[in-house]
Amino acid sequence: MKIIDLRSDTVTKPTPAMRQAMAEAEVGDDVYGEDPTVNRLEKLAAETVGKEAALFVPSGSMGNQLALMTHCGRGEEVICDVDAHVFHYEMAAAGVLSGVQLHTVRGLHTDEGLSAISDHIREPLSYLPKTRLLCLENTLNRGGGSVMSAEQMAVAYRLAKEYRLQVHLDGARVFNAALALQCEVADLACYTDSVMFCLSKGLGAPIGSLLAGSKEFIECARRYRKLLGGGMRQVGVLAAAGLIALQNTSHLADDHANAKALAEGLASFPGVNVNMAKVQTNMVMARLEDSPYPVGEFLQKAATAGVLAGPMGRDTVRFVTHRDVNAGDIKVVLERLENIF
């Protein structure tokens, strides 16, 4: 029985082209700035998102935390969504590493939430932390992969600049967002001072993320990367796969189509609720409202049937489509899950 893994788009395996590029990669010591493959990847990444420079890092979490460390001083504050990755899934690193406080806004990525940003910016009083950074996330993971439009990002950026704030974008899946919005990634990144995107999620590389911004910003972030133990040596063997991933993104359209087909099938099952309006990219959140099975038991039964998914709260299961899952696999998934229900 074929196991169909929909837990995350991080489970993809390197393609034959990636493996060949990795084996043949031209390398050097990246800490000295001498790895030509890394340098090519960073240059391409910066050009793609419309920034002056970029930095190759092991993970998206490190990229986000480097941004916080570079933009903020200790004791300052960062505004983010209540469902933001930096708030939920980065082990309180903002406080541990940067000494900054996260100030959450519910529905930050909606028009209503954007209108409330100013209410969360601190007054310049000696006993309050200084608001320094606005952190956006596009797509929003806990929002089911939902997107924030360029117009909404523009509103957030203008408001941030009115209060002299910096803007960072956690763009782990920003290529999915751009596809859904039918625009270029740079059309979204232009409303930020820095942007991080993952190679190891929707783009399908085995490891790595990029942090991009101004040359001055990246120079500082590079020093902090070394501080955190992220200085890598002949890492062109990894960057080579990232180059392949960054230049071959056409499969994302299939991922989105497969997610929609999966969502429609799941919504037809008794006791399953799927908000189709939020199925905009490669994620499907299925609420087991009236299901006879709690989430944990359902996931066990699904795994026994050869379908892997992940929990997202007490009553919700997350399915993520990716390059290693095709339309035929989605049909098989629905057949197997239908038997469970």
pLDDT band at 313 (very low <50, low <70, confident <90, very high): confident
Is 257 in the same domain as 238?
A: no
- Residue 306 belongs to a domain: yes
Residue with tokens 């189509």: 257
Q: What is the pLDDT of residue 170?
A: 98
* Tens-place pLDDT, residues 146-160: 999 999 999 999 999
Q: What is the pLDDT of residue 281?
A: 98
Is 239 in the same domain as 271?
A: no
Is 191 in the same domain as 274?
A: no
Is 264 in the same domain as 219?
A: no
Is 224 in the same domain as 172?
A: yes
- Structure token digits, residue 289: 């409202």
Q: Is 305 helix (H, G, I), strand (E, B) or coil?
A: coil
**Contact indicator for 169, 137 with CB cutoff of 8 Å:** yes
Average pLDDT, stretch 136-145?
A: 97
Considering the entire predicted model, what is its pTM?
0.96
Is 195 in the same domain as 313?
A: no
- Residue 4 belongs to a domain: no
pLDDT band at 102 (very low <50, low <70, confident <90, very high): very high
* Tens-place pLDDT, residues 206-259: 999 999 999 999 999 999 999 999 999 999 999 999 999 999 999 999 999 999
- Residue 254 belongs to a domain: yes
Is 156 in the same domain as 88?
A: yes
How many whole angstroms separate alpha carbon 202 and alpha carbon 206? Answer: 11
Is 109 in the same domain as 191?
A: yes
| Ramachandran assignment for 99, one of left (phi > 0), alpha (psi -120 to 50 degrees), beta (any other) | left
The domain boundary residue, chosen from 247, 274, 307:
247
CATH number at residue 139: 3.40.640.10
Average pLDDT, stretch 274-278?
A: 95
- Residue 34 belongs to a domain: yes
CATH number at residue 256: 3.90.1150.10
Separation of CA 178 from chain center: 13
What domain range includes position 133? 16-247
Type and span of the H or E element at 64: helix 60-71
